[in-house]
Chains A and B, each alone.
Chain A
Amino acid sequence: MSKKLYIVITALILCSWSMMPPEVTQMKDTRSPVKALYLYNFATLIDWPSDYRKGEFVIAVLGDKEGVYENLKSKYEGKAIGSQEIVVRSFSSVTQFDKAHILYVTPSESSSISSLSTKVKGKSTLLVTEKDGYLNKGAAINFVLSGTSQKFEISKSNAEKHKLVIADRLLKLASKVVE
């Protein structure tokens, strides 16, 4: 094979490699797995009244089905909290929502907080939101960003209103605890 032809062939091979498409460029939702893991940990580090310790352990998501709901469904459904099996449910509106141990309200549904607070009144549902100032609107736990880190703040009084007891281990990890 002539010198020139050889070089052209190898250069073509190298060029085709250097133009290879990169691994995966699609943006990944890197916040939702952390929030889902926190929600699962809330289930393990909070005490529900005895009448909530039977049957399924329901974690509900109000709002977008992508992100946190998908993570909960694929990674935590079927796992156990004590003797209770986790079931993950999704609701697109407040009217659809009935009963759950944990209700996570996605930011797109944050405006439903007042009707939700009324709906969960007298029930032992842990209301988790993701909007600044929502501990004042009835949420027991609110997801916040502290710098670049995903954190959560806790309102002990809002939890107590729903007969929920939060473990010290969880309180220590909160970025803020409101008595």
Chain B
Amino acid sequence: MKGLKNIALIVLVTLAYTGYGQQYTAKAYEFYQAQQFDSAKVWLDSAVVSNERFNSQTWQLRGLVYRKLESPENSTYRDISIESFVQARNVDSTDKYKEKIDGYLYNTIIRYYNDAVTSMNEGDLDGSELAYSAYKNKYKKYIDAGFDFKTNDIEYYNALGGNYLKMVAELTGEEKAKMVAKGVHYYEIVLEYDPNQFMPNFNVGIMYYNQGADLIMNMDPLTPIEDVPAIEARAQEGFQKALPYLQHANKLDPSRTDVIEAITGCYYGLWGSENEDYIKYQTMLDERNLPGLLEKISADPENKTVLKELIRIYSTTLKDEAQYKKYSEILNKLED
């Protein structure tokens, strides 16, 4: 019905204005003001194939109307809107409307960025990346070819990497591996811009560490014994990959205990509990955790988990025979 209405309107417009030579743009503007954008569009499409195509305002209005009519069903309308504004700029030989048109273009192109944020919010990460690329390409092409996207890219790809990281936590197997690869890829873009960003270093390290650790932790208990070395090797590949990122994150923010914990996990997974590096980081970790554990045990003297942890600390990294005996005796009494 709407189609028929439009055809009738086109016929009417063509008959009226071919015959009498009045302005299509003026009529379209009336419809635009009345918020009848479908009708305005029809008049403007006729205008741009008439002599009115040399009028910048005709193209500007067409751009505005197409932008108003943009919807998921009419997804090409945004591009038509942009093309119209570009054409408006081309025919504006005296640059009379330059600032206005640039504003229109900016506000239209920024919609791709808006889409990127919305898609990310909805979990459509591929769609988000496509929209962000479109935003950048069009911004460079139509607004500022020399614009430096470094700050935007760092912000966007950090967020995208973070969303992949969030997704990775809910997946297993091949799907998980694919998402890890994508997350790492986007964080690597950030690190290319600025290798001293803490979060990408930390998150890439954690993704690799978890990828390795999960292979062992989720190993089928009935795995043939001959297959174990290969699984171990794949897990350790993850630990090896994680280490440089985590070490760098540790340099960037030495106060982060979670980074030290992950580094400790890597060394433990690679070389076991007698390794020098493992002991170094485990000691560091224990030094930081000890005050909290002592506080917990004074509040809850029968907390077996804390008691065991204190016994481990006092018998391994921060050796203290008297403390070790004290807490062992308490634990033994509780377990008797």
A residues apposed to B, CB below 8 Å: 3, 6-7, 10-11, 13-15, 17-20, 22-31, 33-34, 36-38, 40-41, 45, 64-66, 75-76, 79, 92, 107-108, 145, 148-150, 169-170, 173
Residues of chain B whose beta carbon lies under 8 Å from any beta carbon of chain A:
106-107, 110, 113-114, 117, 120-121, 155-156, 158-159, 161-163, 165-166, 168-169, 199, 202-203, 206-207, 210, 212-213, 216-217, 219, 221, 223, 225-226, 228-229, 232-233, 235-236, 258-259, 261-262, 264-265, 268-274, 308, 315, 332, 335
A38 touches B166 (CB 8 A): no
Instruction: Judge whether A11 and B155 touch: CB under 8 Å.
Output: yes
- B175 CB, nearest partner CB in chain A, Å: 15
Residues of chain B within 8 A (CB-CB) of A66 are: 308
Partner of B166, one of A20, A27, A75, A79: A20
Given A37-B219, A148-B270: A23 in contact with B156 (beta carbons within 8 A): no
Beta-carbon contact of A30 and B213 below 8 Å: yes
Looking across the interface, which residue of chain A has its beta carbon closest to that of B166? A20
Tell whether, in the assembled complex, residue B213 and residue A23 are in contact, meaning their CB atoms are under 8 Å apart. Answer: no
Is the pair A3, B155 in contact by a Cβ cutoff of 8 Å? no
A148 CA to B206 CA, complexed, in Å:
20
Please pick, from B165, B210, B225, B332, the residue contacting A173 in the complex, using a CB distance under 8 A.
B225
Known A-B contacts A13-B121, A25-B206, A27-B264; A33 and B110 likewise in contact (beta carbons under 8 Å): no
With beta carbons under 8 angstroms apart, the residue of B163, B202, B213, B226 that contacts A17 is B163
**Structural contact, A92 and B335, CB atoms closer than 8 A:** yes
Report the bound CA distance from A20 to B165 in whole Å: 9
Given contacts A10-B114, A18-B155, A22-B165, are A75 and B221 in contact (CB under 8 A)? yes
The residue in chain A whose Cβ has the minimal distance to the Cβ of B305 is: A66
Closest 4 CB pairs of A and B: A18-B158, A27-B265, A17-B159, A75-B221
